[in-house]
Amino acid sequence: MTTSSSSSPRARTVSAEAETVGRYAPSPSGDLHLGNLRTALFAWLFARSAGGVLKMRVEDLDRVREGAAESQLRDLAALGIDWEPEVLYQSTRTAAYEEALSQLQEKSLVYECFCTRREIQAASSAPHGAPGAYPGTCRNLTEEERAEKRTQRNPALRLKSEVATYTVLDRFAGEYTAEVDDFVLRRTDGVFAYNLAVVVDDHFQGVTQVVRGDDLLPSAPRQAYLANLLGWEAPRYVHVPLALNKDGARLAKRDGAVTLAQLLAAGLSREDVVRMISASIPLAPVKTNDDFHLPENAAEMLTVFSPENISLNPWTVLDPLMEGTCCIG
């Protein structure tokens, strides 16, 4: 849902005058593909073009493949992206998430949920329910009912939201309003949920600007609302277009040679890959030794980057190898 309803509460957001601290936060489930690399470059370019810095976070609470984090960081550095020296690993942050959860519990904003995924899907697909939203099934259980359900399965912990919708301001989407349901804070297996961890870590790292794919825009109102509940200002949001495959779906590793390692193995260079991404933004050529060419590394991209000039259309990647060769020279 995208609206600009005046009745929806609005996020308290970090001032535009605050120092720009961006971040990139990959999940170490495998190698980064072209879409991931492009978004990482966007995050770096937006931060550095504003005179700020980029911080790095590895979101390793779930789906971790051994060695993937190190490989991802190497690929980012190979394109010329730099960041503040300390990399934050979410797996080291359990105590911080517990503290935030305790703050919410003290405000009576947390409750146990015993619903299975199938039960939630069935309830939210009913005519009165919003697609995908939690319908509040366990919100008002009695203590006796909760005690009985605990004998059957471990509960997840959900936020007891006090708003129906929430509004954030995005650089490109403008005022964006979406439903805020009683989303999960900690899963049934005890792992803290993304929506809690990302809010706690953005605050801890002093992040003032979040640049990420526009598929994550619907989660921004939830996260900004949670940040405000914890007494923090939400970061400024910049949601950028995705890279899509030839079928119009989000680019994925199954779409052929789309990771840096695959493209290098197929004969392209790192400079070719950066030129390909530069063409997709699009960026103007740069001049080196009386020769004009598309930027070949992050530093060259920065010299011609302007947030006002980027395309807001998705990048459709038809054939990465052909696109790479078209951008050579």
| Per-residue pLDDT tens over the stretch 66-97 | 999 999 999 999 999 999 999 999 999 999 99
Q: Is 74 annotated as a binding residue?
A: no
Number of residues that this document lists for the chain = 329
Q: Which residue in 107, 160, 246, 253 is the catalytic one?
A: 253
Residue 287 or residue 111, greater confidence: 111
Model confidence at 100: pLDDT above 90: yes
160 is catalytic: no
| Residue 144 in marked binding region | no
How far is it, in rounded angstroms, from Cα 43 to Cα 54? 8
Per the CB < 8 A criterion, the answer to whether 191 and 97 are in contact is no
Q: Is 127 helix (H, G, I), strand (E, B) or coil?
A: coil
Read off the pTM. Answer: 0.93
Find the mean pLDDT for residues 232-239: 98
Q: Say if residue 25 carries a ligand binding annotation.
A: yes
Quote the pLDDT of residue 133: 84
User: For the chain, what percentages of helix, strand and coil (3-state, to nearest 5) are there?
Assistant: 35, 20, 45
How far apart are alpha carbons 255 and 318 in whole angstroms?
10
For residue 276 the two structure tokens come to: 């390909």
Answer yes or no: is pLDDT of 149 > 60: yes
59 is in an annotated binding site: yes
Which domains are seen in the chain, by residue range? 21-240 (3.40.50.620), 249-326 (1.10.1160)
